[in-house]
C-alpha cells in the first residue's frame, strides 16, 4: 500500500508537573516543555503513516524545524496534528502544529524516514563496535 499525501495523524496529552520545562530541565518554569511538544508532534506524524507501514516497518525522525510560540500551564490539554505533505521514496515530510485549549502553541515541519526495524536496530548495534 502506498502512502498518500494528505495522510493525517494526531496525538494528545494533558500538561502535568512531569512534562513541564522545569521537570525536564529545558527551562525553569512549570509550563509544557518544548521537548514534550516535539515528541507530541513526532507521535502525530507516526500516527499519520502507521496504517501504511508493512509488517516489520516503521519510521524514524530525521529532522525537525519547529517553533514553540505559546506557554501552556499545568492542567490544560495539548495535542499535535501532522499532515503528510511530501513523499520521496522512503523520505516523508509533514507539516506539524501543536495546540492547547486556547489555540496554536507551535508549528513547523518534520521529516521521517521509513525503515525496516530489524535492519535498523542491527545497524545501530554495530555502533558499539566502533567505540
Domain ranges of the chain: 8-130
pTM, entire model = 0.95
pLDDT in tens, 16-75: 999 999 999 999 999 999 999 999 999 999 999 999 999 999 999 999 999 999 999 999
Q: Which fold has domain 8-130?
A: Thiol Ester Dehydrase; Chain A (3.10.129)
Question: Residue 30: what pLDDT?
Answer: 97
Residue 49's CB is within 10 A of a number of other CB atoms, namely 23
CA atoms in the 13 A half-sphere facing the CB of 15: 26
pLDDT classification of 130: cutoffs 50, 70, 90: confident
Active site residues per annotation: 34, 42, 68
pLDDT classification of 1: cutoffs 50, 70, 90: low
Say yes or no to pLDDT of 118 above 90.
yes
pLDDT in tens, 84-109: 999 999 999 999 999 999 999 999 99
Say yes or no to pLDDT of 12 above 70.
yes
φ and ψ at residue 122, rounded to 5 degrees = -65, -40
Amino acid at each position: 500500500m502506498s502512502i498518500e499525501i494528505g495522510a493525517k495523524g494526531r496525538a494528545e496529552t494533558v500538561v502535568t508537573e512531569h512534562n513541564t520545562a522545569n521537570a525536564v530541565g529545558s527551562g525553569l518554569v512549570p509550563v509544557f516543555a518544548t521537548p514534550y511538544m516535539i515528541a507530541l508532534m513526532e507521535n502525530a506524524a507516526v500516527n499519520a503513516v502507521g496504517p501504511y507501514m508493512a509488517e516489520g516497518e516503521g519510521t524514524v525522525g530525521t529532522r525537525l524545524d519547529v517553533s514553540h510560540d505559546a506557554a501552556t500551564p499545568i492542567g490544560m490539554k495539548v495535542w499535535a496534528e501532522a499532515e503528510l505533505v511530501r513523499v520521496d521514496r522512503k523520505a516523508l515530510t509533514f507539516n506539524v502544529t501543536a495546540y492547547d485549549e486556547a489555540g496554536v502553541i507551535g508549528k513547523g515541519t518534520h521529516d521521517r524516514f521509513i525503515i525496516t526495524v530489524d535492519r535498523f536496530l542491527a545497524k545501530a548495534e554495530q555502533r558499539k563496535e566502533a567505540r
